[in-house]
Every structure is written in structure tokens, then in C-alpha cells.
Amino acid sequence: MNDVNKLILPTGVSHLIASRQTILPKRLVAPGPAEQELEQLFRAAACAPDHDLINPWRFLVIPAQKRADLGELFALALRERDPSATTEQLEQAREKAMRAPLLMLLIVDETKGDTQIDLNERVLSAGCSVQNILLLAHTMGYGTGLTSGKALKSESFRSGLGLHAGEHAICFLSMGTVSERKPFKTRPDIDSFVNIWGAEHG
């Protein structure tokens, strides 16, 4: 047992983890986290396991004044993969950039530091950092959601956001105040994702 137990009981942390749910960006409204909260959130992200300390991931925050530019990148990526996209579809693509008071892109670098550490390990470390952010944001009272989409792989999108070769845009992380909460989705049964090596599969 260690010092943490004096502050937080496992049942509290279990509850914290279980009571977080994904909120779609369209249901995340102002206010978003204040500057001091943002700093705490990023400090939590920095505590992800990264045994070789290469810090292979980064967050690119999309500030308010750049949302329209991001929307144009979404629309451009859509036009590139579907030249017949309608004006309405392009407008929907643009609108996705306007949601949630805090919007940031998670980027993982495949080449930084020791190249023996493969992309999967780097993305795993990024996932740990993201979960730290999601849990702390939840404790602060903010809703969060991870979203992705085909634009993330588009060259125009990548170059528009200044991604280097070797960098992968993994997903967006949106955060804000929850305007509407949907019922919880059922979590998978433990039996469906835990096996004992050598035991018969049920």
C-alpha cells in the first residue's frame, strides 16, 4: 500500500473510470477548461508510461481563430476523396471544425528517438496519455470525446496542419461542458477480452 491510498480509495477510482463516457463533440459546449485546468490536464498527459522517454506524441491545439481554417482542410480532404461532394456535404465537413470549446489533434511520431520502438508502442503510450486527460477532465466536470475520420490521412490535411514525415494524426480530442448526456453504452464482458493462456477457450 502506498500514499495514494490515503487520498483516494480504489472504489473511488473505479467509479471515476466507469462513470466517464464519450460525449460527441456536438454536445460539448462552452465553457471549456480554463488555462490553469488545461495546464493540469497536460501535466497529467505527461505522466503516461514512456519507458524510453522519447515522448513520441504531441497535441496540436486548434484555437478559435483557426477553426475556420481547419474546416477548410476538412472540406478540401472531402473534395479530394469525393469530387462529387455536394455543397451541403462540404458545409457539414466545415462545421465539424466548429464544435467543442477545446479541440486538439493527437499526433504520434514514428521516427523520433529510438527507432527500435515501433509505432504500436508509441501509439500505446499516446493512448495512456489521452486516458489521463479524459479521466482528469471528467473529474473536473468536463465531457470529452475522441473522433477520427478519413481526412486525418489526407496529404493536404497533413501538410495543412504542418505534420512532419513520420508523424501520424491519430484522432481529435474534444472537451467542453456537456449539453446533453446519452445513456451509457454497455461495456464489454471481461470474458470477451481476457483469456488465460493454456485454458480452454469457452
Site for a copy of itself in 79-98 (CB under 8 A): none
Residue 61's φ and ψ, nearest 5 degrees, are -80, 135
- Amino acid code (one letter) for 132: N
Judged by CB, which is closer to a copy of itself: 87, or 194?
194
What's the distance, Cα to Cα, between the start and end of the chain in Å?
35
Q: Which stretch binds a copy of itself (CB under 8 A): 74-82, 84-92, 93-101, 145-153?
A: 145-153
113 binds a copy of itself (CB under 8 A): no
DSSP H or E segment with residue 74:
helix 67-81
Query: Minimal distance in Å, beta carbon 12 to a copy of itself?
Result: 5
Judged by CB, which is closer to a copy of itself: 36, or 87?
36
Total of residues contacting a copy of itself (CB under 8 A): 90
Q: How far apart are CA 132 and CA 121, in angstroms?
A: 17
User: According to CB under 8 A, which one of 28, 48, 93, 175 is a site residue for a copy of itself?
Assistant: 48
Q: How far apart are CA 71 and CA 95, in angstroms?
A: 6
Site for a copy of itself in 24-43 (CB under 8 A): 37, 39-40, 42-43
Judged by CB, which is closer to a copy of itself: 98, or 135?
135
161 binds a copy of itself (CB under 8 A): yes
Judged by CB, which is closer to a copy of itself: 38, or 85?
38
Q: How far apart are CA 114 and CA 52, in angstroms?
A: 8
Q: How far apart are CA 57 and CA 199, in angstroms?
A: 37
Q: How far apart are CA 134 and CA 22, in angstroms?
A: 9
